Amino acid sequence: MDARFLDSPRDRMVDAAIAGMRTCGLAGAGINQVIAASGAPKGSLYHYFPGGKLELAREALERFGETRQQELQTVLAGDGPPDQKIARLFKRAAKGMAQEDFRYGCAVAGVTLDLDEDSAALGPVCSGLLDSWTQTLAVLFEPLPAARRKALARFVITAFEGALVQARAARSTQPLLEAGELAGSLVRAQLQPS
Amino acid sequence: MDARFLDSPRDRMVDAAIAGMRTCGLAGAGINQVIAASGAPKGSLYHYFPGGKLELAREALERFGETRQQELQTVLAGDGPPDQKIARLFKRAAKGMAQEDFRYGCAVAGVTLDLDEDSAALGPVCSGLLDSWTQTLAVLFEPLPAARRKALARFVITAFEGALVQARAARSTQPLLEAGELAGSLVRAQLQPS
Q: Is A105 helix (H, G, I), strand (E, B) or coil?
A: coil
Q: Best of A101, A104, A113, A160 to disrupt the B interface by mutation (most B CBs within 10 Å)?
A: A113
Residues 6+ apart with CB under 8 A from A82: A140, A141, A187, A188, A191
pLDDT at A1: 47
State pTM to two decimals.
Answer: 0.95
Nearest residue, CB atoms, A159 vs list B109, B123, B158: B158
pLDDT > 50? residue B130: yes
Provide the percentage of residues in chain B whose pLDDT is more than 90: 87
> Would the ipTM clear 0.90, i.e. be above it?
yes
> In this structure, how many other beta carbons lie within 10 angstroms of the beta carbon of residue A194?
4
> In this structure, how many other beta carbons lie within 10 angstroms of the beta carbon of residue A2?
8
pLDDT > 80? residue A6: no
**Within the 173-192 window of chain A, which residues sit less than 8 Å (CB to CB) from chain B?**
175, 178-179, 181-183, 185-186, 189-190
DSSP class per residue in chain B: --GGGTTSHHHHHHHHHHHHHHHHGGGGG-HHHHHHHHTPPTT-HHHH-TTTHHHHHHHHHHHHHHHHHHHHHHHHTSSS-HHHHHHHHHHHHHHHHHHTTT----HHHHHHTT--GGGGGGHHHHHHHHHHHHHHHHGGGTTS-HHHHHHHHHHHHHHHHHHHHHHHHHT-SHHHHHHHHHHHHHHHHHHS--
**A156 contact B CB<8A:** no
pLDDT at B40: 83
Give the Cα separation of B90 and A107 in Å (integer).
Answer: 24
Model pLDDT for residues A99-111, shown as the tens digit of each residue:
999 999 999 999 9
pLDDT > 60? residue B1: no
pLDDT at B42: 77
Contact B55, B14 (CB under 8 A): no
Region A47-71 average pLDDT: 96
pLDDT > 80? residue B3: no
pLDDT at B6: 57
Domain extent, residue A39, equals 3-191
pLDDT at B16: 96
pLDDT > 80? residue B71: yes
pLDDT band at A4 (very low <50, low <70, confident <90, very high): very low
| Total structural domains within chain A | 1
Domain with residue A167: its CATH number is: 1.10.357.10
pLDDT > 90? residue A188: yes
pLDDT > 80? residue A193: no
Give the Cα separation of A169 and B24 in Å (integer).
Answer: 17
> In this structure, how many other beta carbons lie within 10 angstroms of the beta carbon of residue A142?
10
Give the Cα separation of B188 and B184 in Å (integer).
Answer: 6
Contact check, Cβ <8 Å, B24/A116: yes
